[in-house]
Structure 1
Amino acid sequence: MTDFQQARAALGGRLRELRTSRPGGRLTGTQLAERLGWTQSKVSKLERGRQTATIEDLQQWAEGTDQPEAIGELRSLLNGIESHHRSWRRLLSSGHRALQENVNIQHAQSTIFHAWENAMIVGVLQTPDYARHVFSCYADLHRSPRDIEDAVRERMKRQQGIYDSRKKYHILMWEAALYSLICPPSILGGQLDRLAGVVGMDNVDLGIVPLSTPVKIPPASGFWIHDERLVVVETWHAGLRIDDADSVATYLRTWQTLQKSAVYGPDAHRIISRARRTISPH
């Protein structure tokens, strides 16, 4: 069981305790559901750790079991869950700008980065036009507020880090990411020009894993490692923050394994140039 699953199970167990130890007498799951206007299955899923409660759910639960004083404890348990696993529905509830501001803070607190990306250009190397299309795609997918211009400005601020001599970026990308047409070819062409200019920078080691090169593990989902203490992974439904030592070590080992298939310097530049000619032959 993962840390996230354990934390959600712990919250579910506490909710069950509140229901069964209600001052006025124990409530069944069905009785509590009727009180709250919920389905019985929702009560069951929350107690069994199969569904993550919202803060509103917890408020209603505490009041429905006549123990409103428990809300502080329940909120703390929920915060413990969300520090490691937060759905995009929650993360993007107020738009993309706020999330980018939080990511900027996270990056400001870190010095050495290891990144892997298999599907698109990493955010810290994106052009404004490319980033604009990325945010638009995800706003459509998650039906989130379309504060795209504000989000782009925040993402561009983060790029100041690659010129900071105190920071070091070890970035790996799969060659397939260079061809992903999530934007018009003209914009991708400009993005590839930008990427080519990064090769050889003092603070950035940019490696490309060629499509034709054997890999020892599948080039799966992207991730960032901060100072070998924190891993950030973005899935389709949620953002994950992983900070237990064993898991961080696994991600670092994954990065190191992928790096064995990567090329750098002039070889990386040739791959980027080839993609550039393919996308915009004229």
Structure 2
Amino acid sequence: MSTLSSSVTARKALADRLVEIRRDAGLTGAELSARCGWHAAKTSRIQNGRTTPSDADIRAWCAACGAADQAADLIATARAADSMYVEWRRRHRTGLRQAQERLIGGYEKTSLFRIYVSNVIPGFFQTSDYATALMRSITRFQETPDDVAEAVPARMARSRLLHEGGHRFAVLIEEWVLRTRIGEPATMAGQLRHLLSLMPLASVSLGVIPSTARRTVWPLEAFYLFDNRRVAVENLTAKINVVQPREIAEYAKAFNELSGMAVYGPRARALITAAIDAVG
């Protein structure tokens, strides 16, 4: 799905939801228009997805339908329609470096990072060798320009946030990530030893979810919670930016439940050490 088609789909979903709210309130389009104080043609354009409603339009619509409590979620949806789905190939069309550099501003504004990964070690915790091996794989697979040598320092720059600015990192890693080899054995062993070195940091809480853990939440795709403002969900083809308060709350709930399945401290260190031994 392209970024454009995803944006169109998001706007259509918003329009459909507004229609549902009107119908649930038992109002016709004309009656809603009268309550909102605008022409019926505007209601028609909004309902058909031809016009994206403003924040004030959504508040008025919801108030007219007795659904003012739904306005915040719908406003967030409208604001995110053009940026909620970012295709990796499009984002990396000039290489990986610029994409890495664009991220740091948003990271600096975040106080609490809640990170769940089920695929690779999160970027904040990566070594240079691990990041290089991973980015080479991404570049090869996506068939995008190879600027890995420039992109790796840009990625590594974010690790300074572990040591400055009062940022906190609550990170959950599935055990199989520790045993999924990225790069050469020495690269993987070095990455795992680096994880051990980060665990004593006051800014870091690192939990490992054992492969044998009884699941109350199934394995999910990697996601990053930035305070309570946004969630970035990563899949094979795109990053999805979630900004609806209701959806953010669901990711926070999932993170809390996943945290309950994780082990910490000596038990987490034991799993990481076992993974180092398995690398050989």
TM-score by length of 1: 0.72
Within-5 A mapping of 1:55-204: 81-164=81-164, 166-204=166-204
8 Å contact from structure 1 (residues 120, 177) kept in 2: yes
Q: Secondary structure at the match of 2:124?
A: helix
8 Å contact from structure 1 (residues 116, 255) kept in 2: yes
2: CA distance between counterparts of 1:108 and 1:263? Answer: 28
Letter in 1 for 2:217: I
Shift of residue 80, structure 1, vs aligned partner: 5.5
**Relative contact order, higher structure (CA 8 A, sep 6+):** 2
Residues 95, 206 of structure 1: alpha-carbon distance in 2 compared, 3 angstrom cutoff: same
Letter in 1 for 2:170: H
2:222 corresponding residue in structure 1: 222
2:271 corresponding residue in structure 1: 271
Shift of residue 254, structure 1, vs aligned partner: 0.8
Q: Secondary structure at the match of 2:239?
A: strand
2:10 corresponding residue in structure 1: 6
1:54 corresponding residue in structure 2: none
Stretches of structure 1 that go unaligned for 5 or more consecutive residues are 12-47, 50-78
1:255-282 C-alpha deviation (Å, 9 max, x unpaired): 11111110111111111001000112xx
Shift of residue 119, structure 1, vs aligned partner: 1.4
TM-score by length of 2: 0.72
8 Å contact from structure 2 (residues 169, 205) kept in 1: yes
1:8-28 C-alpha deviation (Å, 9 max, x unpaired): 6789xxxxxxxxxxxxxxxxx
Stretches of structure 2 that go unaligned for 5 or more consecutive residues are 1-5, 16-47, 50-78
Residues 10, 225 of structure 1: alpha-carbon distance in 2 compared, 3 angstrom cutoff: closer
1: CA distance between counterparts of 2:110 and 2:8? Answer: 24
Letter in 1 for 2:95: G
Shift of residue 158, structure 1, vs aligned partner: 0.2
Shift of residue 194, structure 1, vs aligned partner: 0.3
Identity %: 27
1: CA distance between counterparts of 2:8 and 2:126? Answer: 31
1:57-78 C-alpha deviation (Å, 9 max, x unpaired): xxxxxxxxxxxxxxxxxxxxxx
2: CA distance between counterparts of 1:96 and 1:115? Answer: 21
8 Å contact from structure 2 (residues 7, 82) kept in 1: no
2: CA distance between counterparts of 1:81 and 1:275? Answer: 42
Superposed structure 1 runs of 4+ greater than 4 Å apart: 8-11
8 Å contact from structure 2 (residues 80, 243) kept in 1: no
8 Å contact from structure 1 (residues 100, 154) kept in 2: yes
Shift of residue 82, structure 1, vs aligned partner: 3.6
1:11-48 C-alpha deviation (Å, 9 max, x unpaired): 9xxxxxxxxxxxxxxxxxxxxxxxxxxxxxxxxxxxx9
Q: Secondary structure at the match of 1:139?
A: helix
